[in-house]
Structure 1
Amino acid sequence: VAPPFKEAEFDIIYGEGISKVGDMLDLAVNLEIVEKSGSWYAYNSERIGQGRENAKRFLADQPEMCAEIENKVRMAYGMKPTAEKAPAETAPSTNS
């Protein structure tokens, strides 16, 4: 969660656990991938929500944009981006 003697903040949602979208949104704002102006959040000049909770809800409803932002955050920290499609989203194989 955090190295010794450091602080870490994150949302814990009942029935969900640690909010991945909220954590990713905070990191994206810190890296200036997502712009924050007052209470508005924007990505690529498109407003995604007024207030953090609305921005989180928007990203949860827009998985493609959320994955794009997550990949940019991961690359900024020197990590490999996630796969373009999750295994459940791949086309089913046809066996004849």
Structure 2
Amino acid sequence: AFIDAEHALDPVYAKKLGVDIDALLVSQPDTGEQALEICDALARSGAIDVMVVDSVAALTPKAEIEGEMGDSHMGLQARMLSQAMRKLTGNLKQSNCMCIFINQIRMKIGVMFGNPETTTGGNALKFYASVRLDIRRTGAIKEGDEVVGNETRIKVVKNKIAAPF
């Protein structure tokens, strides 16, 4: 299943990458709460093995969507994700389902020492995640002048699944 919170799924491109679009369950929720409820319902159903949420940054709480521009909604997304992860974790385990959350990097303003990069959504996802991967594009793969792929660097940030090597 693919929960497209960004509303950016391109079926033509996905098909080129080898995705079976006809067998893929796609949902484009309006709010973060709706997206996470869909995740929970899919996990409880036991009908799927893998679901992808694209992306955590796009999981906008209903209160923020219905509010005025400029309203302060500090910590709202983090609270929503924290509550959802408490519910979702057990259901994912019972149904033997994997949920992949795609997130984005943001810059912390005014950081002099340490890493200025952070991910959106608070600490709940970092805590509940079994595996966290930092995937970055490092270059292009070319055949002649045509770009046919991307070179990537993948760093394992957290791994509770296997022993370190």
> TM-score range, shorter-chain basis?
0.3 to 0.5
More strand by share: 2
Bigger fraction of residues in helix: 1
Larger Rg: 2
**Greater relative contact order (CA < 8 Å, ≥ 6 in sequence):** 2
